[in-house]
Amino acid sequence: MAKRHHEKHSIEKINWLRASVLGANDGIVSTSCLVLGVASAHATHASILLTGVAGLVAGAMSMATGEYVSVHSQVDIEQAALAEEQAELDQDYHGEQRELTAIYMRRGLDFELAGEVAVKLMEHDALAAHARDELGINHLNMARPLQAAVVSAGSFSCGAILPLAVVVISPEAHLLWLVSVAALVFLAMLGALAARMGSAKMLPGAIRVTFWSALAMAVTAGVGALFGTLV
């Protein structure tokens, strides 16, 4: 018996990869910016650490809540579209079959073959066929709110812990530079890893993340320093 061939593509990872990369990146950038802003305002080491911890907790909860609400809204839209499609199938099954046939013809099949494919797929699972080929909903891109929320909160926390660890071990006199450099190194590694997992080029991914994160940290540190001199 021939061995069954299974193909795995990077597109299958897109849902959890997007949430985890966004969460970790935001955790590092947000926490680093908070720490740098407060440190630039000449706060004590204890105040800087407390600010970072508070940012970690608040950020993780915010990421989880925002992601859950956002993805759940997508679920609601998908469910409404599927319900509407099922109603159309109940009312005019053959009309929906012709619609599916037309879709396959636009993709390059001739009329006879497109009709046969539409008939067979609808006999197997009419709603699934229309969901996939008419609505663009399939198992690869189905929204999963709880999974997205957990991944976002967890990855944000993992990212935020990194600059916090640097704050803990850094002497106060060198905290600004150590946190800045460490955060940018972490972010470059994250950008490269994300690109690698998505089968893209690693260097552009690392440069893109590092540049915009460095800009965000510089602006935050500048604002902190400005307010530190005014207060």
Residue spans of the chain under pLDDT 50 = 1-2, 4-5, 10
Determine the pLDDT at residue 5. 46
Determine the pLDDT at residue 135. 83
Write out the two tokens for 35: 């720490």
Residues 6+ apart with CB under 8 A from 115: 101
Determine the pLDDT at residue 2. 46
Residues 6+ apart with CB under 8 A from 28: 159, 160, 162, 163, 183, 186, 187, 190, 213
Determine the pLDDT at residue 1. 44
Integer angstrom CA distances of residue 212 from 29, 68, 148, 173, 202? 10, 26, 24, 26, 16
